[in-house]
Amino acid sequence: MSTICAISTAPGVGGIAVIRVSGTDAFALCDKIFHAHREGHTIQSQKAYTLQYGTIENERGETVDNVVIAVFRAPHSFTGEDTVEISCHGSIYIQQQILQLLIQNGCELAKPGEFTQRAFLNGKMDLSQAEAVADLIASTSAGQHRLAMSQMRGGFSRELKILREKLLHITSLMELELDFADHEELEFADRHELKEIAAQIEQTMSKLIHSFKAGNAIKNGIPVAIVGETNAGKSTLLNALLNEEKAIVSDIHGTTRDIIEDTVSIQGQIFRFIDTAGIRDTHDTIEVMGIERSFHALDQAQIILWVIDSTNALEQITNLSPRILPRCQEKELIVVFNKSDLPSVVHSDIAGLPENTHTISISAKQHEGLNQLQTMLIEATHLPQISQADIIITNARHYEALTSALHAIQRVEEGLSSGLSGDFISQDLRECIYHLSDIMGEVTTDEVLGNIFRNFCIGK
Ligand SMILES: Nc1nc2c(ncn2[C@@H]2O[C@H](COP(=O)(O)OP(=O)(O)OP(=O)(O)O)[C@@H](O)[C@H]2O)c(=O)[nH]1
Ligand SMILES: [Mg+2]
């Protein structure tokens, strides 16, 4: 395989940058531009997992930089190939010069994710673990980090392997039976036992599929729609929660006309706050379109913050209850009485709201009551406490494959119950195994692989 190189540290200027070179010729290629500090030393003769000091020189013999070389020998490296890591100074100019010299001497520039792709192809990790590497790099919250770490360590892969072994066991029994189809009295596979194993498999799969909701919420953030009448202070609240002047705030009714959203981490959990156009009767065509979007955002969200101007609370509740409450039945609704800094007659047990509605009084403008609101938000997520040992699905590709596998195993169970002939059952079993293997990347097409790794950053 060709030898590839890339800058593995973040783009821009840092104190130090790392350039990674991986492939059969990594040592020989790097030796062409490296001059060891100690006479007679080379990278090719350098022991694995040691560091060596020296200089990188260009074709005119000028020093580009003083560097430290780390050597990893195949198969004991991240990619499974011979790998060199050049630590140079952080200047973008230096990094580009070294990269250019490597390419001039025969290296190829790595494509995004190519190092991880090679690790996968060389059997250092399965596909779901490789995908976790990308998640780990992208993680910005404690929750995301914990999930990626657990997936990278292979907990999910182990679970899949166990499932697959059980399936293979049933399949081989079923197929053995088919081989002796002439002897009808033969039944190697005890149907009762098979049903039990299939039920166990179905249960484990359902659990994994179920975990996707939590996994997805942790990875992509829990959607929270901020809705209410115009001028209630929705955009002011969005800005306060994000701690940033993201949305325009004004005392003109109908200021926000489109969806404005952003994510923020609260106590290690990512929330995606969606500010919406204030709901009112209007003849303004654009505003009407904006209000339609408000309801769409409400329908998509998991938590609803209904912002009410406390100085006008009763009227707002009466006006909007028929339009908001029916849409919140499956969701967590928090009624936020805003503008608590102004005199008002509102009480949190105000009439007109269903019993057990969560209410809170805040001043978005003065940032009063925000901590309590954040705590309420965390409670409203109902996310289970997740440890690194838990197996949670976070990836839509895995979710789809598992769902297909689940349908196949359900067909197997039905087939077993209704006494369906063995060859049909074993066909469904094979399909189930196929989908599990797909998650681990054992039957995945090059096109799908290409897509997965394209989303990585270069240098990883
Ligand atoms: N006194 C007081 N004024 C507030 C508070 N929150 C918002 N306001 C004011 O209320 C007005 C409307 O605020 P916005 O945040 O633009 O209201 P909105 O709900 O986004 O309004 P639309 O975008 O028109 O639907 C502005 O003048 C804000 O400064 C608050 O807690 N106290
Ligand atoms: Mg607004």
pTM higher than 0.75 for the full model?
Answer: no
Å from CA of 153 to ligand 2 middle: 44
Task: Decide if 439 contacts 449 (C-beta within 8 A).
Answer: no
Q: Which atom of ligand 1 is nearest to the CA of 278?
A: 25
Strands of 58-149 (E only): list them.
63-72, 83-89, 108-109
- The pLDDT value recorded for residue 360 is 94
Mutate to test the pocket of ligand 1, among 258, 259, 293, 365 (most ligand atoms within 8 A of CB): 365
For the domain covering 4-110, report its CATH number.
3.30.1360.120
Task: Decide if 397 contacts 273 (C-beta within 8 A).
Answer: no
Q: What residues contact residue 382 under an 8 Å CB cut-off, 6+ apart?
A: 332
Question: Is residue 223 lining ligand 1, measured as CB closer than 6 Å?
Answer: no
Q: Which atom of ligand 1 is nearest to the CA of 275?
A: 20
Å from CA of 228 to ligand 2 middle: 10
Å from CA of 339 to ligand 1 middle: 8
Separation between Cα atoms, residue 178 and residue 423, nearest integer Å = 7
Å from CA of 239 to ligand 2 middle: 10
Question: Is residue 250 lining ligand 1, measured as CB closer than 6 Å?
Answer: yes
Q: Each residue of 2-55: pLDDT tens digit?
A: 999 999 988 777 899 999 999 999 999 999 999 999 999 999 999 999 999 999
From the CA of 279, the nearest ligand is 1
Range 327-358 burial, b when 16+ CB lie within 10 A, else e: bbeebbbbbbbbbbeeeeebeeebeebeeebb
Question: Is residue 363 lining ligand 1, measured as CB closer than 6 Å?
Answer: yes
Q: Which atom of ligand 1 is nearest to the CA of 228?
A: 19
Q: Which atom of ligand 1 is nearest to the CA of 277?
A: 25
CATH topology match: 142-211+392-453 vs 224-381: no
Q: Is the peptide bond before 343 cis (omega within 30 degrees of 0)?
A: no
Mutate to test the pocket of ligand 1, among 248, 249, 275 (most ligand atoms within 8 A of CB): 249
Separation between Cα atoms, residue 157 and residue 72, nearest integer Å = 26
Å from CA of 244 to ligand 1 middle: 15
Task: Decide if 413 contacts 206 (C-beta within 8 A).
Answer: no
Q: Evaluate whether the domain defined by 224-381 bears CATH number 3.40.50.300.
A: yes
Å from CA of 344 to ligand 1 middle: 16
Question: Is residue 235 lining ligand 1, measured as CB closer than 6 Å?
Answer: yes
Task: Decide if 236 contacts 213 (C-beta within 8 A).
Answer: no
When computed from its CA atoms, the radius of gyration of the chain, rounded to whole angstroms, is: 29
Mutate to test the pocket of ligand 1, among 236, 307, 339, 344 (most ligand atoms within 8 A of CB): 236
Question: Is residue 254 lining ligand 1, measured as CB closer than 6 Å?
Answer: yes
**Which residues of the chain register pLDDT less than 50?**
none
Q: Which atom of ligand 1 is nearest to the CA of 236?
A: 15
For residue 327, what is the DSSP state? G
Q: Which atom of ligand 1 is nearest to the CA of 368?
A: 31
Please identify which residue in the block is written with the tokens 């060389």.
Answer: 122
Fold of 142-211+392-453: Four Helix Bundle (Hemerythrin (Met), subunit A) (1.20.120)
Å from CA of 233 to ligand 1 middle: 3
Å from CA of 346 to ligand 2 middle: 22
Question: Is residue 365 lining ligand 1, measured as CB closer than 6 Å?
Answer: yes
Would you list the domain boundaries of the chain? 4-110, 142-211+392-453, 224-381
Question: Is residue 195 lining ligand 1, measured as CB closer than 6 Å?
Answer: no
Å from CA of 235 to ligand 2 middle: 4
